[in-house]
Each structure stands twice: as C-alpha cells, then as structure tokens.
Amino acid sequence: MPMAPPPDLANLSLADVARLVAEKRLPPVEQWNPSHCGNSDMRIARDGTWFHMGSPIGRQEMVRLFATILRRESDGGYVLVTPVEKLDIEVEDAPFVAVEMKAEGEGRDAALAFRLNTGELITADADHALRFEQGEDGPRPYLHVRGGLEALVARSVYYDIAERALSGDDDPPGVWSNGAFFALEPDA
C-alpha cells in the first residue's frame, strides 16, 4: 500500500496539525531489540538527503518509510531497526530538516508547527523542544522530533523564528509554543 503524500502545512490550521500528529502511528522501534546485522550502506546528509551506496534515494516514499524505522541508540549512533534486524546508518548532522513553519497566536499564546523534509508534522512544545547551538556558520537551531531524533531547522525557517523572537518582549529573546519558551541563546 503506497504511503499518502505529506500534507501541505500552509493549508492546515494548527488544530488540523494537532489532529494529524495525534493520528500518526509510528512503528514501536523503541521496543524492538534484534541483533545488530551490520551497516545499511545508507547515509543522511546534512541537507536531509538520504543516500544508499552513494546515490541519492529519489523516491520520497522510500525515505518516509525508512524515517519511520530510524532510531537513535544510547551511544549516540543511528540505526534502522525492524523486529528482526538492526543496521547502522550514518547521519552527518540531524536525520531530519524542518523546512517549513506555521505560527498562530502571539507571545505566550503562540503555537509553532513544523513540516519536516519527510513530510512529518511536529508542533513545538515541552516534549518537542527547540534548541540553539552556535556553529561555525552561525546559529544552528534544532527541533526534537522523537526518541533523541532531531531536525535541523532550515536557515529560512530559523530567520522566521528569529524575527518572531526579536519582535517580542522576552529577555532573553525567544519564542513561545504551546506554553513552552525557547530562548534563542545557544546552549552552553
């Protein structure tokens, strides 16, 4: 059965996003503990492109499927896991990229929803925190997705976050989403 295409964030209200997030059913990868089988010969580049044996995976449906069985291990490594096998996968930075943001409300009443490069929707809140690091090329914002997996926030989306933060009255500058505050200051 083919996977449905990802929804268009621009045409959804945040209530629609919340409903879709609540309806998503991901495999219980945290419950699967098969033996390690080796390397998958797969890599996720910093820009979110998935590769197999050095070639980009062109079918987005395959990328979305693989993303559902991705897990972060306690040692910081990444694996693709099923009930019967576990394969290493190389991740250059973060396994996902937040490519679009939709905001509703202002200040403490704001809610921010993000669409990932895989089509998955994430609403920032206490369980899906935004954090900021200082990188060689400037601030590097990340959004917690699930189970230690993060999305690098695309530069254009970061600029939208920064504009919201700098137009507010918070000290230090930051953004609110679903009752949680995220300071723009990089993690120490």
* Per-residue confidence (pLDDT) for residue 135, from 0 to 100: 82
Q: Are residues 179 and 157 in the same domain?
A: yes
Residue 14 belongs to a domain: no
* Per-residue confidence (pLDDT) for residue 26, from 0 to 100: 74
Mean pLDDT of 126-142: 91
Among residues 74, 91, 108, the one where a domain terminates is: 91
**Is residue 188's pLDDT more than 90?**
no
Residue 112 maps to which CATH number?
2.30.270.10
Residue 16 belongs to a domain: no
pLDDT bin (cut points 50, 70, 90) of residue 130 is very high
Residue 13 belongs to a domain: no
Query: Sheet of 138-146: strands edge to edge?
Result: 121-123, 111-116, 96-104, 149-153, 138-146, 130-135
Global pTM reads 0.85
Residue 136 belongs to a domain: yes
Residue 134 belongs to what domain range? 96-183
User: What is the domain count for the chain?
Assistant: 2
Residue 66 maps to which CATH number?
3.10.540.10
Q: Are residues 76 and 31 in the same domain?
A: yes
pLDDT bin (cut points 50, 70, 90) of residue 185 is confident
